[in-house]
Amino acid sequence: MHRITYALLGVLAWLAGCAPATATPPPTPTRILITMSPPIQQAYDLLRNTGRFSGPAVGVAATTPDTVLALRAIVQEPEAEKILQNLLHDAGLPGQLYALAGLYVLNPDEARLVAQQYETSNEQVETMFGCIVAKDTVGNVARQIMEGTLAYALAKPEP
C-alpha cells in the first residue's frame, strides 16, 4: 500500500516537473482578442475611461459628446459586437452603459441578457443630458437604454 502511494507521489512529482514553467492560462471566454485600427482603439479607450454617461446632445449648443461619436464609430465596425462585449468587461460603469446601448442596436436579444445585471443595480453614475449634470442609478439608465429610444439616439450612425 505504501509503495503504491509513494509511486503515485513520484509520478505526480514527475508530471509537475514536466509542465512548462512558462505556461500561460487560456484566455477567458468573456474577453475576445481583437485587432482595432488606431481610430477605433482611440474610441474604445475614450469609452473605457469615461467618467460620465452623456446623452446624444449636451450643453447649451446641444453638441454631440465625443463619447457618443466614439460609440457610433465602434458600432460601424465589422467586429462591433465583439468590441462592445470587451468594453463591458474593460470599462467603468459609464463606458459599460455605452457598450450596452451599442449592443442593443446591434443585437437586442444579447443586450437584454446582459442588461439584467445592470437593471437591478443601485450604483450611482454621473450623467449629462442636455445641460443637466446629475447622478442616477445604473439600473435606471440601463432601463432607459433597454427601452430602445436612447440606445438608437446614442449609437445611430451619422446621416
* Contact status, residue 31 vs residue 86, Cβ threshold 8 Å: yes
Q: Which three cell numbers, joined as nine digits, stand for 51?
A: 467618467
pLDDT (tens, 9 = 90+) of the chain, 159 residues, equals: 444 444 444 444 444 444 333 333 333 335 566 788 999 999 999 999 999 999 999 999 999 999 999 999 999 999 999 999 999 999 999 999 999 999 999 999 999 999 999 999 999 999 999 999 999 999 999 999 999 999 999 998 655
Alpha-helical (H) ranges within the chain are 2-18, 38-49, 66-75, 80-90, 93-106, 108-119, 138-146, 149-155
* Contact status, residue 43 vs residue 126, Cβ threshold 8 Å: no
Q: Which three cell numbers, joined as nine digits, stand for 34?
A: 481583437
Q: Output the pTM of the full model.
A: 0.79
